[in-house]
Copies of this chain bind each other. A is one copy, B any other.
Amino acid sequence: MPTTLDRIDRALLAALQDNARLTIAELADQVSLTTSPCWRRVKQLEEQGYITGYQATLSPKSLGFGVTAFVSIMMDSHTKDMARAFEKRLMEIPEIVACHHISGRYDFLLEILARDLESFGEFAREVLQRLPGVKEIYSSFSYKAVKERRIIPVSENHI
Which residues of A are at the interface with B, using a C-beta cutoff of 8 A? 2, 13, 16-21, 48-60, 62-65, 68, 70, 87, 90-91, 94-106, 108-109, 111, 113, 115, 138-155, 158-159
Query: Across the interface, do B152 and A100 meet the contact criterion of CB distance under 8 Å?
Result: no
Query: Across the interface, do A103 and B140 meet the contact criterion of CB distance under 8 Å?
Result: yes
A155 to B8, CA, bound (A): 39
From known contacts A50-B62, A56-B13, A58-B51, infer whether A70 and B102 are also in contact, taking CB-CB under 8 Å.
yes
Give chain B residues whose Cβ lies under 8 Å from the Cβ of A63.
13, 50, 152-154, 158-159
Secondary structure dominating the interface of A: mixed
A55 to B152, CA, bound (A): 11
A95 to B139, CA, bound (A): 25
Closest chain B residue to A150, Cβ basis? B97
Closest chain B residue to A46, Cβ basis? B56
A67 CB → nearest B CB, Å: 11
Query: Across the interface, do A95 and B17 meet the contact criterion of CB distance under 8 Å?
Result: no
Query: 8 closest A-B pairs (Cβ-Cβ)?
Result: A16-B56, A20-B54, A104-B140, A94-B153, A64-B159, A100-B142, A99-B146, A99-B147
